[in-house]
Amino acid sequence: MRHLLFALCIAAPPAFADPLITLTSPTDLDWATTPEGVAFAPLSGDRWTEAYFAMVRLPAGTVSPVHTKSASMFGLVIEGQMTHAVPGADAAPIGPGSYFEVPAQMAHISACVSDTDCVTMLYQDGAFDFVPVTQ
């Protein structure tokens, strides 16, 4: 019986979808700016309905109000200096190459504290939302 299974595996290799390599240069990013001035360029997924990857650009000096998100947020700073902190905590700036993670439902403030815009590669494990926290 073992030989039959082995023979079947050799005779009928598994069918895989054609692999795709996606290459996107910075000049090909499709940026859309929110009324608040934050810009999103989708990389994968639809941020309104599912988990997604996107490039996100915050104008220099942007400070969010205290808010939560339904999904956890994972990011890598590409340009600028940012902070992500819970209200009342010290906010240590992080720069290019730095990683950040904000758990779902955690009240926090995000800011671009550099003189230049901040750009991050962001992943959220669910659809985008922004829920202001009243104090």
Per-residue pLDDT tens for 23-70? 999 999 999 999 989 999 999 999 999 999 999 999 999 999 999 999
- Please report the domains of the chain, with CATH numbers, ordered by start residue: 18-132 (2.60.120.10)
Q: What are the structure tokens assigned to 109, written together?
A: 């403030």
Between 61 and 134, the more confident residue is: 61
What pTM does this model have? 0.81
- Alpha-carbon torsion angle 52, 110, 71, 37, nearest 10: -50
- Residue 130 · residue 67 · CB < 8 Å: yes
Banded model confidence at residue 11, pLDDT cuts 50, 70, 90: low
pLDDT at 60: 98
Other CB atoms within a 10 A radius of the CB of residue 2 amount to 6
